[in-house]
A and B are shown apart, each in its own frame.
Chain A
Amino acid sequence: MKKVSALLKHSIIYLGAVIMILPFLWMISTSLKPPNEIFEVPIRWIPSEFYFENYVNAVTSFPFVDFFINSVIVTLCIIVGQLVTSILAAYAFARMEFKGKNLLFLLLLSGLMLPAQTIMIPMVLMLKELGLLNTLQGLIIPFSWSALIVFLLRQFFLKIPLEIEEAAAIDGCNVFQIIGKIVMPISKPIISTSIILIFIYGWNQYFWPLLIVNKEELYTLQLGLAYFKEQNVIETDWGALMAGTTLTMLPVIIVFLLFQKKVIESIAFSGGKE
């Protein structure tokens, strides 16, 4: 009886895991198939030969490299921007007293709760007014703040013992020196978690870039991939499309594999908001 239930238990979980990973395997399998095997019935999971041409086609048939570079620039800048603004704000909320502090903090957190589409029209008007439409800056500046990261950092800062900072203040350090020389080194774990979270958020963004840029040379990888699929609608080169999709996912998957435990913990803790 015990053995049967253990077997049942493992079958359910392993079958579920197979279903979860199947689309990924299907994607990778297709991306390596020669054209004549892509539509083969019954399905051939392992191609007769690895056809890397699909990857070459994906990278050359649309400006993949340019999109990749745009994505890297935008994501890196968003990471730096969110970290700088959030560390300062989180430190103020953890350590300073000022009027309206709690109210301001709550107001900021409300920013986590709305689907982007609710503010899209005035947002575009605002970006237009500021000359940010159709610029890379437009993909960076509006996203260089984060209620979530402020919240995460503040929680961590609150746990740092005050004595060290007080001692530094007596030695004549100003606030910025204290943050840079004391708080940040101690906070390495939460800062690295934040970097991973912002990276995934920035890399995967699709909706805002879709509104903000419509010049092809400014496309990020996600926009490019959606565009590549659209262009392909009539006679899709699924091999190249799956190769492009694999490449688009790869950076996030690598980060996930390297820091799996950290990623899962932090996303679970953050409530899954993106």
Chain B
Amino acid sequence: MKKNKYIGYLLILPTYILFALFFLIPLLYSFKLTFYEWNGFSPTMEFVGLQNYMMLFQSQDFINALKNTVVYAGSTVILAVFISLVLSVVVQDGIKGYQTIKGIYFLPHIVSLVAVGVVWSWVFLPNSSGLLNAIIGVFGLESQKWLADPNLAMGSLVIIGVWKSIGYNMVIFIAGLLSIPESLYEAAKIDGATKLQSFTKITVPMLKPTMFFVMVSATIYSLFQVFDIVNVTTGGGPVGSTEMLVTYLYKVGFEQFQIGYASAIAFVLFIMTALITVIQKKFIEER
């Protein structure tokens, strides 16, 4: 079986040809493009050194997109992690119809982001026949414009993001909770600890690694999914209030054809995700 030492390379070749053509080379080329000015069509590119990077930090639009991305990812992750942690602890305690419930919470995770965007646009309809306005109307609140209101659009997107990711977070949390040895709780019970005490003194510290893992992967996931949702719902508006790095990059690249500048934005995004990944990897190794 191991007679031919080249057979290993032969077997991985199809994967690596595609990987090189459609990932690695584009990634490296993207980095090269950050040092050039180019409109994507003209046969010549002009070398401009670091100019594209300088432009980034003078651009109001870039700062806005960066800020929005951080706000979106940050609030989605914090809310989703908190809510799913609470729900997981409660579910863990024994719930009637557990399998069905788990399925319902997980459902949003598997449907397409386009479908999610379309359905939520309908939920967020800005007049009184929209679902969300009807619901808050029951509590005597006035109808809101949600996705069409510059002050609420970001919050509305966060609601979609949280809704989409709770189920996934819960599955990871429940696995983490199951891995805490039952004997710890029994010992605490014998020592006379209350339920709350065993939660704060056992569950929380034992769950810390899982929590960290969920936070990091939720952050990456929020960057992965945000383009599709924004593109289908707000398109980055109103007045740039939901413009994210990924959508801004798309516009600069494919609508304004500033290839070099767009590549510099892509590189910032790359650095952001690489940093998150390094943190994640370091943590997994420690575990």
Contact = CB atoms under 8 A, between A and B. Distances in A.
Interface of A: 9-10, 12-14, 16-17, 19-24, 26-27, 30, 38-43, 84-86, 88-89, 91-93, 95-98, 101, 104, 107-108, 111, 113-123, 125-126, 130, 141-145, 147, 150, 165-166, 169, 175, 178, 200, 203-204, 206-207, 210-211, 222, 225-226, 229, 238, 241-242, 245, 248-249, 252-253, 256-257, 260-261, 263-264, 267-268, 271-274
A252 B131 contact: no
Interface string B219-251: 011011001100110000000000001100110
Contacts of A206: 112-114, 228, 231
A268 B118 contact: no
B187 interface: no
B178 interface: no
A142 B12 contact: no
B167 A118 contact: no
Interface in B110-166: 110-115, 117-123, 128-129, 131, 134, 163, 166
B18 A142 contact: yes
B87 A122 contact: no
Given A175-B7, A200-B110, A268-B168, A249 B115 contact: yes
Which of A23, A85, A111 counts the most B-chain CB atoms under 10 A from its CB?
A: A23
A179 to B, nearest CB: 9
Nearest to A27: B119
Nearest to B269: A118
B202 interface: no
B2 interface: yes
3 interchain residue pairs of minimum CB distance: A96-B8, A204-B112, A122-B26
Contacts of A238: 122
A117 B266 CA distance: 7
A174 B68 CA distance: 56
Contact of B107 (A104, A147, A253): A253
Contacts of B14: 84-85, 88-89, 145
B190 interface: no
Nearest to A225: B114
A92 B27 CA distance: 25
A29 to B, nearest CB: 10
Given A10-B95, A117-B250, A145 B19 contact: yes
B266 to A, nearest CB: 5
Contact of A117 (B29, B172, B269): B269
Contacts of B266: 117-121
Nearest to B32: A122
Contacts of A264: 102-103, 106, 171
Q: Say what secondary structure dominates the interface of chain A.
A: helix
A226 B231 contact: yes
A242 B119 CA distance: 7
B273 A93 contact: no
Contact of B262 (A121, A126, A245): A121
B53 interface: no
Which of A144, A238, A268 counts the most B-chain CB atoms under 10 A from its CB?
A: A268
B232 A229 contact: yes
Q: Say what secondary structure dominates the interface of chain B.
A: helix
B249 A117 contact: yes
A118 to B, nearest CB: 5
Contacts of B246: 115, 117
Interface of B: 1-2, 5-9, 11-12, 14-16, 18-19, 21-27, 29-30, 33, 40, 83, 86-87, 90-91, 93, 95-96, 99, 101-115, 117-123, 128-129, 131, 134, 163, 166-168, 171-172, 175, 217, 220-221, 223-224, 227-228, 231-232, 245-246, 249-250, 253-254, 259, 262-263, 266-267, 269-270, 273-274, 277
A245 B131 CA distance: 17
27 contacts: A9-B95, A12-B86, A12-B90, A16-B105, A17-B101, A20-B105, A20-B107, A21-B104, A22-B131, A23-B163, A89-B14, A89-B15, A95-B1, A97-B2, A98-B9, A104-B12, A113-B274, A116-B224, A117-B245, A122-B27, A125-B40, A145-B19, A150-B15, A165-B1, A253-B110, A256-B110, A264-B102
B174 to A, nearest CB: 9
A97 B8 contact: yes
Which of B11, B29, B167 counts the most A-chain CB atoms under 10 A from its CB?
A: B11
A242 B134 CA distance: 18
B84 to A, nearest CB: 10
A115 B93 contact: no
B167 A20 contact: yes
Contacts of B221: 272-273
A201 B106 CA distance: 16
B101 A222 contact: no
Contact of A96 (B2, B108, B119, B228): B2
A169 B1 CA distance: 6
A97 B21 CA distance: 25
B163 A12 contact: no
